[in-house]
Amino acid sequence: MDTSHIRNFCIIAHIDHGKSTLADRLLEYTGTLSAREMEDQILDQMDLERERGITIKAQAVRLTYTAKNGETYMLNLIDTPGHVDFTYEVSRSLAACEGALLVVDAAQGIEAQTLANVYLALDHDLEIIPVINKIDLPSAEPEKVKNEIEEVIGLDTSDAVLASAKTGIGIEEILEAIVKKIPPPGGKVNNPLQALIFDSHFDAYKGVIVYVRVFEGRVAPGMTIKFMATDKRFEVTEVGIFRPYLMNVDELEAGQVGFVAASIKNVKDTRVGDTVTDADNPTQAALPGYRKITPMVYCGLYPVDSTDYDTLRDALDKLKLNDASLVYEPETSIALGFGFRCGFLGLLHMDVIQERLEREYNLDLITTAPSVIYKVYKTDGEVLDIDNPARMPTPQEIDHIDEPYVKAVVIVPNDFVGAVMELSQEKRGEFKDMKYLDTTRVMITYHIPLSEIIYDYFDRLKSSTRGYASLDYELIGDFKSDLVKLDILLNGEPVDALSVIVHRDKAAFRGRMLAEKLREIIPRQMFEIPIQAAIGNKVIARETVRAMRKDVLAKCYGGDITRKRKLLEKQKEGKKRMKQVGSVELPQEAFMAILKMD
């Protein structure tokens, strides 16, 4: 097919503005899937994604559309992840397209991720088609939202499509706009192969399936391809397209989107953003924008039952097959024994991996509080990357510490400006900018330490704005901070897995809160447990868990056997996530207590 009949596009939207629903409607309208095949939200394939209603992995699908001009077009829809953890993946998906549908909820208007995504799309020079979705809602205000898009983003909305992905209004209009406005891809079939990897997944039979957008040349089975960032070579076994199920084709040519399989064993060799070329006739230069993804958040994962260590390692190995951004290495904790230090792109990524380990591999895990990477400059000139508070050098050895900061953009109704500012100041934020989107909503920009964001910024932002605030953030670099390590001692013994790094000004407060919280969380045991919070040798807070007096069954008066059994069950359930640390039994919540304060 000549490229004048190809359109490559993606949908960008804030979470819940209707991206998946719209994708479904486009699939349905173009007959890509029959009604019977049509499962709800086919583009979000993983169960977890579906449950949480968020898109994690980019997916792609080819639609065939016969336009009003009588011509048939091949439309490649590349889905983008809708969460701030996956910005880099979003940017690679955008780089594979010539255009984007900008979906904005007609009742909500522009939100933080709308802006973040639209700026990414503009960076890639994409043609943007504004789609005002959910116009079926009684609270829809399409004209107001159009104005917002013009004022804030500076896009012309005179021919924005008014749509309802739910009822099907505007779907044909969207398809026509894609054909008319989005430019066809360039590129020549005779040039050396140059293809962008925008995603990949591991298949037990075929090896890694690499999702590519071909920019120049062609790729077909039998060719030897080379990945430019890793310099790895493989012989292509299959190429194909997404309908949305994988369907083999003879070759993929310049302008097209599809998959390549080449008996690749490890997703690490097929990095998102890398360029694929012909090993025998390589392209001169890789496509721009490749970046190695590095984790932002680390935590310790320990099996509750130490005999599960090997199972945990195998499970991590398996998850890693499909997720090149997950990193881990063995770690030992005096308190928790043998486990792994794992790095994630962000908190959502961390949650998803933990949940998959527990659900799919049936593991009971203790996870320690997440930490960012601190750059520790020692007095002897050495610079350390510390992702685990327990490994922090002693105060005497430290010259200074840098911590990662983000630029956080919050969009809220006027009434909540005060609440957002108060919270952001408390989180050590530096005010940068405030801009009115219209008469009722404001965009506020702060620079905030990433560690404060991962503590509980988002939860507290949501609760202090009754759910109205939206947040997006991006890393801006490492800056000097006055940080100290806060240790927790139980029964006079420091518990390494409970150590946290905090700002000096907040250390006393956080120490007291943490000790108090732990007193509430740690169940009474047969003996008294003193809890101390300390900085270096200085104890700054002390609490005590008093010894247990009553037997749980005492309440039952020996009578009702079912009730007794229930209580015992409940007690067993509660025990499941307990870890014996020295002589004290600690529940999972204890390790996360730092996140649940203030």
Q: Which residues are annotated as a binding site?
A: 16-21, 133-136
Burial 570-593 (b: 16+ CB within 10 A, else e): eeeeeeebbbebeebebbbebbbb
Whichever of 59 and 164 has its CB closer to ligand GTP, that residue is 164
Binding site, annotated residues for GTP: 16-21, 133-136
Which residue's CB is nearer to ligand GTP, number 390 or number 471? 471
Nearest Cα residue to 58 out of 93, 91, 28: 93
Q: Which is nearer to ligand GTP, 299 or 409 (CB)?
A: 409
Integer-rounded Cα radius of gyration of the chain: 27
In contact, 177 and 161? CB cutoff 8 Å? yes
CB of 527 to ligand GTP, least distance (A): 49
Between residues 177 and 507, which has the closer beta carbon with respect to ligand GTP?
Answer: 177
Retrieve residue 528's tokens: 């008294």
- Rounded to a whole number of angstroms, the distance between the first and last alpha carbons of the chain is 61
372 neighbors 344 (Cβ within 8 angstroms): no
Give 11 or 195: the residue with its C-beta nearer to ligand GTP.
11
Burial-class residue 351 by CB neighbours within 10 Å (0-12, 13-18, 19+): middle
Give the residue at shortest CB distance from ligand GTP: 82
Looking at the Cβ atoms of 139 and 537, the one nearer to ligand GTP is 139
Q: How far apart are CA 186 and CA 512, in angstroms?
A: 62
Strand stretches in 31-113, DSSP E: 60-66, 72-78, 99-105
Please, which residue, 21 or 532, has the CB nearer to ligand GTP?
A: 21
Chain residues binding ligand GTP by CB under 6 A are 13, 15-21, 44, 53-55, 82, 133-134, 136-137, 164-166
Residues shown for the chain: 598
Q: Quote the least distance from Cβ 39 to ligand GTP, whole Å.
A: 14
CB of 165 to ligand GTP, least distance (A): 4
Outline where DSSP puts E strands in 437-469. 441-449
Least Cβ distance, residue 111 to ligand GTP (angstroms): 11
Q: What is the nearest approach in angstroms of ligand GTP to the Cβ of residue 107?
A: 8
Q: Are 240 and 248 in contact (CB under 8 A)?
A: yes
Q: How far is the CB of 45 from ligand GTP (least distance, A)?
A: 12
> Smallest distance from the beta carbon of 473 to ligand GTP, in angstroms?
17
Nearest C-alpha neighbor of 149 from the set 98, 106, 97: 106
**Amino acid at site 419:** A
